[in-house]
């Protein structure tokens, strides 16, 4: 892979790496990818979950999810990256295909498709970018071209 | 109200103002609260919705939600604010009570309670803070003290 040249390219690599670490179940990579700064607490919202805060709670949640997921693959679409100073904000759609362990040992359970949207915030750290916040949520109210659907929730 | 003294206090006021504007159905306040910078596109995810991007799309979505909501009140709990340079990241729980118009004219429909968690990102703009990104999502998988619940979704 050639060296990333712009900040936006570096941020996109960091964003992709977050999902690749999930796919591989790579807890060591997760540890490296998340911001490690005692002055700046990280936060994470998995789809349908409450807010998790702090590196240890966030990394533990990923370890738990990865341990209970035999197979997961992310197809990222609609990735938009904004870099302002030392902060970057990424929004994207996660098209997820995942399978939990089967009840029959050695087999994969049925695959499930999921549509999730994410807002990921990164901080510049040295010459790289680290995850400061991840917020993923299930898309329940139709696709983008139907966003004015009456079924949408009234919450902010 | 006395003048806010620290950045964290100013950010908390901006965060509260966002929810108060929703409660009042105040589209003009919404317009003032969201970042207006041609170089930095705003983004917004309402609970269950796909990503909306750009001021006009975001403000239109609020106008639509406010027009279809007769009553909405937010009780914010668990508000955490991190300020780093010109960026602030707020996570909080929105305890929402809302009512849609009743089918009987002049009456309020049944009130519905909703638990939503939000990640709100603010940018410093002059001596105030403006909303750069809002991401709200329904809490489906138990409260914080049950976050390891097996029912949690496997998505990142």
Nearest CA in chain A to B59: A156
- Partners of B150 on chain A (C-beta within 8 Å) are 68
Q: What is the pTM of this model?
A: 0.87
Q: Does A154 have pLDDT greater than 60?
A: no
Beta strand pairing call for A108-125 and A71-84: unpaired
Cα distance between residue B72 and residue B23, in whole Å: 5
Strands annotated E in A9-86:
43-45, 52-53, 71-84
**B8 at A interface, C-beta within 8 A:** no
The model's pLDDT over A6-56, given as tens digits with 9 standing for 90+, comes to 999 999 999 999 999 999 999 999 999 999 999 999 999 999 999 999 999
| Token pair belonging to B18 | 């966002």
Question: For residue B27, what pLDDT band results from cuts at 50, 70 and 90?
Answer: very high
Q: What's the CA gap between A30 and A14, in Å, rounded? A: 11
| Total of domains in chain B | 1
- pLDDT surpassing 90 at residue B84: yes
Q: Does A1 reside within a domain?
A: no
Mean pLDDT of B61-74: 94
Residue B2 counted as domain residue: no
Q: How many contacts, defined by CB atoms under 8 Å, are there between A and B?
A: 219
Residue A140 lies in a domain: yes
Q: Check CB contact under 8 Å for B154 and A65.
A: yes
With contacts defined as CB-CB under 8 Å, which chain B residues touch A39? 84
CATH code (residue A74): 3.10.450.50
Domain carrying residue B87:
7-152
ipTM of the predicted assembly exceeds 0.90: no
How would you label B10-24 residue by residue, b for 16+ Cβ within 10 Å and e otherwise? Answer: bbbbbbebbbebbee
Asked if residue B12 is part of any domain, the answer here is yes
């Amino acid at each position: 892979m050639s060296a990333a040249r712009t900040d936006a390219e570096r941020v996109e690599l960091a964003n992709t790496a977050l999902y690749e670490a999930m796919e591989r179940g790579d807890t060591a990579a997760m540890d490296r990818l998340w911001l490690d700064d005692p002055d700046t607490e990280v936060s994470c919202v998995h789809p349908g979950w409450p807010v998790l805060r702090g590196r240890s709670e966030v990394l533990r949640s990923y370890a738990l999810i990865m341990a209970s997921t035999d197979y997961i693959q992310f197809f990222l679409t609609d990735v938009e990256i904004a870099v302002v100073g030392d902060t970057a904000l990424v929004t994207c759609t996660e098209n997820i295909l995942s399978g939990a362990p089967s009840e029959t040992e050695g087999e994969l359970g049925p695959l499930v498709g999921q549509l999730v949207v994410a807002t990921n915030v990164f901080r510049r750290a040295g010459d790289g970018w680290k995850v400061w916040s991840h917020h993923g949520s299930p898309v329940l109210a139709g696709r983008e071209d139907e966003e004015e659907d009456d079924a949408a929730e009234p919450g902010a």
